[in-house]
Structure 1
Amino acid sequence: MNGLKGIIESGSLWATHFSFLNDSNELTHGMNCLENALQYLRDDFNPKTLKFIEQALTHFRMHRAAHVYNLSFCLEPDLLSQWRGYGSSQGVCLEFDDEELLASLELTHYQVFKNRVLYTKEDSTVEARNEILAFFRQPHVQAAINADVMHEMIQATRLAHSLPPFFKNDGFKEEPEFRMVILPDSPFEGVNFRVNDSGLAPYLIIKAKDKLPLTNVRIGPRSNRAMMM
């Protein structure tokens, strides 16, 4: 309930640093999946394009991966496993429409991507290969590259920023997670810290322009409903 109260009163959400999620290695997992898939794309891309993708992923790993934040949501609003894992005796579920929520947030100085999480095994390359192909087959991506060949490098960079954060070890697949991934333009500006079991966890305060478009609040099965209504 303290979390609900804080969210409503402040009109903001906290985006947690990727290293402090329930799987601290998941960003590495995503990068590994994509890098390992490149060898199976030789019939789909020319060597120059594959080199652009490889270089973009390497640059992301070395320079941007340390500054990625996440807002996590669950696609299913009433999963018992989620109540057990995240809802204490006063657990509640806040429901949003993703498009309305994205439009409501002040994101001027951030690069933002949203999607559902893709759960894969450590050594799997099929899903990563399919995601890379799907990215480059988007009409607006193809149009940009056809208009200017330099956009091939730009789109490879965008791929490296937008795909790795949405891969997660399939041991967590019962979560059906949807996430908004946030990359700040200035990596060290506006970073806050809170104490958790792992130490000091960095987070960003993402404020609403007016108010958060909350559509529903669901009370958890372990909560005292009579006292909370």
Structure 2
Amino acid sequence: MLSATNRGDTGMLLYHYTNQAGFLGIMESGTLWATKIQYLNDNKEFFLALSIADEILKERLRTEINRDVVIRLIRFREALPRMNDVNVCVCSLSENGDLLSQWRGYASGLGGYSIGFDYEALKTGFNRHDYVLMKCCYQPQEHEDFINNVIDTILMMFEGQPEPDHAEIEKPSAASRLFQEHLSCVAAVLKDSSFSEEAEWRAISRRSLSPAELAFRPGHSTLTPYHKLPFDNRQNGCVREVIVGHTPNSDLAIAATHTLMQKMGLQVALHASQIPFRNW
């Protein structure tokens, strides 16, 4: 996963934790993998936002008197179950480039890598591919504020406009489709407070991707859909640093990585993790 931190005159860096195979694939292809949100390691993340949104919408419906707005809010609730099918893909982020929990979780615990990217270059490249970078939030009040803001934004956009097809309330409308799209982005950054140590960021697709845009890889128990997200390294040199993870052969690992960087024509800061950890 990625992280952001300050590194002197190089500006803010983002790190991607991965194992050896992932490191080679990322560096050789110039792409990161953005996973379909419903297939993340903790599948409760996505449904946390949907549950909160449902409660907020129910509360608003108790007090709303405008008939068009009532129908609109009901359609927002009707859209929640359909969000299981949206193809929103995310690439996870964290504000710490050398964090033990991330080495354990993303680098197979041994011989992994943390790739440091220039934040501005990465953000610019992601924007060209219709992705946005957002910081995760962990506090319940923040979660409610995010979702209320989505609801208020959509209602304001359609203020004064009649909501169509009152007699067929189960049918989606332009407002409910837009609500679904906006909530998908928010759902990607709402996390339980127990994960706050990760200080996570995420790159999120701004729209639901078409099936033709998805690739698939083997997962633990099912195929996992993902999207190949270029980071344009050759164009803007956004890889700035590589941290070699825990291994009994640290010197050899650094030497091999240095040779690989030379072969690829990359000048990056290269060093070993400073976290005391032994898994051998």
Q: With the length of structure 1 as denominator, give the TM-score of the two structures.
A: 0.75
Which of 63, 66, 91 is 1:71 aligned to? 91
Q: Deviations for 1:26-69, whole angstroms, at most 9, x for unmatched residues?
A: 21111111221335568998755575455346425405644121
| 2:104 aligned with 1:89 | no
Question: Among 34, 44, 48, which residue is 1:29 paired with?
Answer: 48
Q: Are the structure 2 counterparts of residues 106 and 49 from structure 1 closer, same or farther at C-alpha, using a change threshold of 3 Å?
A: same
- Does the 8 Å contact 2:92/2:203 carry over to 1? yes
The structure with the larger Rg is 2
The more displaced of 181-190 and 82-91 is 181-190
Aligned AA (1:129): E
Q: Gaps (5+ residues) in structure 2?
A: 1-19, 163-173, 255-280
| Identity level (%) | 22
Code of the aligned partner of 1:224: N
1:196 and 2:215 matched? no
Q: State whether residues 100 and 213 of structure 1, in contact with CA within 8 Å, keep that contact through their aligned partners in structure 2.
A: yes
Distance 2:71 2:155 in 1: 18
Measured in 1, the distance between the counterparts of 2:133 and 2:63 equals 26
User: Take 1:19 and 1:137, find their aligned partners in 2: how far apart are those partners?
Assistant: 25
Letter in 1 for 2:101: S
The aligned amino acid for 2:134 is N
Shift of 1:129: 2.6
Q: Secondary structure at the match of 1:167?
A: coil
Q: Secondary structure at the match of 1:67?
A: coil
- Distance, in Å, in 2 between the alignment partners of 1:185 and 1:93 is 29
RMSD, aligned CA: 3.5
Contact 1:136-1:142 at 8 Å conserved across structures: yes
Residues 53, 77 of structure 1: alpha-carbon distance in 2 compared, 3 angstrom cutoff = farther
What letter corresponds to residue 203 of structure 1 in structure 2? Y
Residue 169 and residue 106 in structure 1: after superposition, are their counterparts in 2 closer, same or farther (change >3 A)?
closer
Query: Of residues 222, 239, 243 in structure 2, which corresponds to 1:214?
Result: 239
Q: Which residue of 1 aligns with 2:134?
A: 115
Residues 1:129 and 1:177: Cα distance change in structure 2 (over 3 Å) = same
Matched residue of 2:93: which SS? Answer: strand
State the Cα deviation string for residues 102-142 of structure 1 (Å, max 9, x = none): 3124854x5x332122235xxx5x3333224555788xx99
How many residue pairs get matched? 219
* Residue 38, structure 1, aligned to residue 38, structure 2: no
> TM-score if structure 2 supplies the norm length?
0.63
Maintained 8 Å contact 1:31/1:164: yes
CA contact (8 A) 1:91 1:219 kept: yes
User: Where does the alignment leave 5 or more consecutive residues of structure 1 unmatched?
Assistant: none
Tell me: CA distance 1:201–1:143, structure 2 relative to 1, closer, same or farther (3 Å).
closer
For 1:186 and 1:202, locate their aligned partners in 2 and report how far apart those are by CA, in whole Å: 11
Considering Cα pairs closer than 8 Å and 6+ residues apart, tell me whether 1 or 2 has the greater RCO. 1
